[in-house]
Amino acid sequence: MLTIGALANVKHILQKELFSVSDERLLSVVTVTKTFKKKDKRACYLCVVTTTPITVPVVSLCLVKQSEQRENEYKRKRSWALDEIKWVDGRNDQLETHEFDIQLEKLYKWYALHPHERQNFLAVLNRQIQKNVRGQRAEFRNIPSAWLSEKSPEKIAAGRTGDAALKAQQTDGEESEEEAQEFTALTDREATELGKLFSECDFAIKDAEQFIEQLSKELHDLDGANIQSVLASEQKVLKMMEHIDNAINEADKFETRLDSYEDILGHVKETMEKIGGKNAMIEIANNNNIKLMKELEKVITQLDLPHKQQQALEDPDFKTEAGIKAAIAAAQCLQQAMNSDIDSALLRLEAVQDQRKRFEKWKQKFSIFISRYMNNMFIHIGNEIGDLPLTSNELVLPNHSNVHQSLAPYTELMHWTKAMDNKTYAGLMRVYTASLCKIYDRDLRNFFNLAKMQVSDKLRSSREDLDASTTSRKAAVSTVPYGTLGVNRDQWGPGVDSADRVRFDALLEKVLAELEPIALQEQLFCINFFQMDVISPTTKNTQTTLEVMEKSVDMSQSFTAASPSTDGPFPQKRIDRQINEDVRNLMMGLFDCLEPELVIFIKSFERVDSFYSLYVLVRLTQHVMSAQDTHSFLSMTFASTLVQVKRNFDSFMKQQMQSIKESKLPKRSKAGILPYVENFENFAQTAEGIFRKSDRRTDMERWYLQLVNAIFETISEQSHEHPKTPHQVVRMENYHHMYSLLAQLKVRGLDGLKKEAKVRYNDALKAYVTHYFGRPLEKLNLFFEGVQQKVAQGVKETEISYQMAYSKQELRKVISQYPAREVKKGLENLYKKVEKHLCEEENLLQVVWHAMQEEFIAQYNYLEERIQKCYAGAMINLEFNIQDILTFFSDIARSH
């Protein structure tokens, strides 16, 4: 019974601590743990609680937990209204069962610590539910049916024991919930009554016995009075009972009435509910129908092709403007319909698939119409223009903008074909290319033939000039190219002059300038007409959204195809490149013969002018480097040609180098100016005329350096080879020539070589003078060399004259060997010799003669100075003075 006490205690505490505060009353409590939470052994209390009846009592189920921190603090964890309880399961009928389940918003499984608490709790709960819940009540399963009867288990127990004391005890402890409901605090009135009673008997405290006696006496009196009044009122009571019986009968009648009403109402309610359900169903169905309608309407409008358009597709009229317009409009509608955005589920509809098949048929049919029509048109254009006689002999490339204009109205049809039928599109492109290629082929060949004729015309006329002027047939036949540095000019083959080169250059410019707009115009047309600036998404023969297929997969594949493997940082760049390449390929097909014709044309210069590569290089470079569209067909064609020309240029220069190295000394009495030195002037002037203002100067200067170096080397090598001309003269004259030439050219890159030429020339001049002038007063020179030896041995200069071999007499003897007349004669001979060595062209005789005069004067001054030093005061002099020398030199120079 300890547990009962404990529970009573708990109940008391809970009431006091928790429920009184909120004006509630605890009806029953069971100490539980959650069975699924074995660990948390702390007890919870599941309570049935009612509000104190101010109006209508509200009973609820409530879970309370003891606070973790403080022993005597409790918390309400959760509350449920009774009608939230779906069912209660006692697990089995055994009395000693601990578990029970309550289905609320979820299933709670409880473990009651004390079975008797559980019993009480379940009974109270059942009763309260029966009493308070309207409508569907919780079902109690597996619970002894006795518990669920009216009587509370305690009452039964109490009745069984007959222990009144316990029963009395229950009033303030383990009382039934009804008593609890009636248990109220003393009302004010009762309190005052009681107070009054106590105050009347204030002796009671002193004399309890007396008080009890008085009370029992009073009670006795009251009992007596009571019995009397009861007896008196029996008649009334009987009447009252009768009334009550009547009332009850009436009430019963009324009740049956109400019941029947309720029945009716219940029926109505049921019907209403059924109707409501039906209504909701109808609404849903309606909504679905509307949605379906919308969806269908969408599909139908999307897939509908008006009759007029069907006609336009089935029997298109491409001849009139209106017809083309209608056809394009219909075709675009078809395309739109075939690519309409329809859910893939709907695509499985047979009607949609049927429509698709119809579309497919229209598409194919229309595509065939276009194909046939455009095909004919392209071929017709090709034939028509191809048959037109070429009009003029002027060097103009015909413009075919009229072709483009006549095709322009069909542009959108081509775009349609590209999107809808790639195969036909590709086929049409081929036919177009073939037809137009024929035209351009003819145009270009004719154009280049005219251009070539203009070159050979010039050739002929210049040849005639040549023949007329020189009458040397031999030269015309010579195989040595004109301008070859290492070969004497009279052995050159025929060539052209700079005026001709200017004309050729102008002709080339004209040709290039004619090509550019024509190619550009065709390219622009093709890009637009064939919509080449858009990459077609699929390699396969196009596809529409109406095909039930994983199109996303296809798309991604085509995308990766466009931008392969590597994580290319610029996919756009790749796409652009693909477009460029496609356009270029098309242009290549159209202008098939352009490159070979251009190369042949440029070659035609070669036959006339060995220097052609110079100005063609410059001219073509201008066109290639200034190109806006660096990867266009024309730019790249020109660039390839330019590389060829550059190679020809380099090999021309290499030949020039070779010719210098292999050149032979001219077979003449004087070496004179060597052919490559002589020719270099003309060569450099020609090259400068072409390259002076060009961007390609660097290419030329690179060769200048090599050529001039080769020239210097070869001069030095060959200077020894001439049988008569001394090597000093060969070098002097040729370096002098090179020097003056380079000075005149003013090429900055050659400044170093210019300086070197000057040094080499001066060296050669000095060497020549030293060698050939020698010492005309040789014996005097030898005499003083002896003097110098003595001086070196320690003889004083003033005492030299006392030496036997160097006496004044001896000196006079030597001097007398060089009389003025003899000296002049010797100089005259020398002059003749020099004259024989030097060539007239370079005109260095006076320079050399002057250098010799200087040399002579220097030697004279030296001797005079020695005489004055060693034979001072002896009054010895040479037999001629400086003035005489100057007169000799000028006389000799003048007389020749």
Interface with another protein (CB under 8 A): 566, 568-570, 617, 621, 624-625, 627, 630-631, 635-636, 638-640, 642-643, 646-647, 650, 695-696, 698-699, 702
Indicate the residue among 479 and 628 with the shorter CB distance to another protein: 628
Closest by alpha carbon to 824, among 896, 895, 887?
Answer: 887
CA nearest to 679, candidates 490, 496, 502: 490
Strands (E), 257-337: none
Q: Which is nearer to another protein, 467 or 650 (CB)?
A: 650
Write down how long the chain is: 896
Task: Give min distance, CB of 760 to another protein, in A.
Answer: 22
Instruction: With H, G, I as helix, E, B as strand and everything else as coil, classify residue 157.
Output: helix
Give the separation between CA 751 and CA 650, rounded to whole angstroms: 23
CB of 712 to another protein, least distance (A): 17
Q: What are φ and ψ of residue 111, in 5° steps?
A: -125, 110
**Spatial separation of the C-alpha atoms in residues 604 and 612, rounded to whole Å:** 9
Burial class of residue 805 in the structure, from the number of CB atoms within 10 Å of its CB (0-12 exposed, 13-18 middle, 19+ buried): exposed
Buried b (16+ CB within 10 A) or exposed e, 846-865: eebbebbbebbeebbeebee
**CB 432, min distance to another protein, A:** 24
Q: Which residue type, as a one-letter code, is found at position 166?
A: L
On the CB side of 73, CA atoms within 13 Å amount to 4
Minimum gap (Å) between residue 695 Cβ and another protein: 7
Of residues 365 and 631, the one with the C-beta less far from another protein: 631
CB atoms within 10 A of CB 866: 20
Side-chain-facing half-sphere of 736: CA atoms under 13 Å: 22
Shortest Å, Cβ 636 to another protein: 5
Q: How far is the CB of 616 from another protein (least distance, A)?
A: 12
Nearest distance, CB of residue 624 and another protein, angstroms: 5
Asked if 715 and 732 count as a contact pair (C-beta separation under 8 A), the reply is: no
Sign of CA dihedral 714, 719, 720, 725: positive
Nearer to another protein, 235 or 626 (CB): 626
Q: How large is the greatest C-alpha to C-alpha distance in the chain, in angstroms?
A: 214
Give whichever of 653 and 765 is closer to another protein, judged by the CB atom.
653
Please state the closest distance from residue 533 (CB atom) to another protein, in A: 19
608 or 753: CB nearest another protein = 753
Minimum Å distance from CB 649 to another protein? 9
Decide whether 638 or 806 has the Cβ nearer to another protein. 638
Nearer to another protein, 72 or 566 (CB): 566
CB of 635 to another protein, least distance (A): 5
Q: How far apart are CA 654 and CA 658, in angstroms?
A: 6
Exposed, middle or buried, 473 (CB in 10 Å: 0-12/13-18/19+)?
exposed
Instruction: State in angstroms the smallest separation of the CB of 595 from another protein.
Output: 10
Q: Are 329 and 336 in contact (CB under 8 A)?
A: no
Q: What is the CA radius of gyration of the chain?
A: 67
Q: Which is nearer to another protein, 647 or 746 (CB)?
A: 647
At 87 the three-state DSSP class reads strand
Q: Nearer to another protein by C-beta: 151 or 646?
A: 646
- Whether the Cβ atoms of residue 847 and residue 835 lie closer than 8 Å to each other: no
Q: At what angle do helices 422-470 and 411-420 cross, to 10 degrees?
A: 120
Taking the least distance from each CB to another protein, the nearer of 543 and 658 is 658
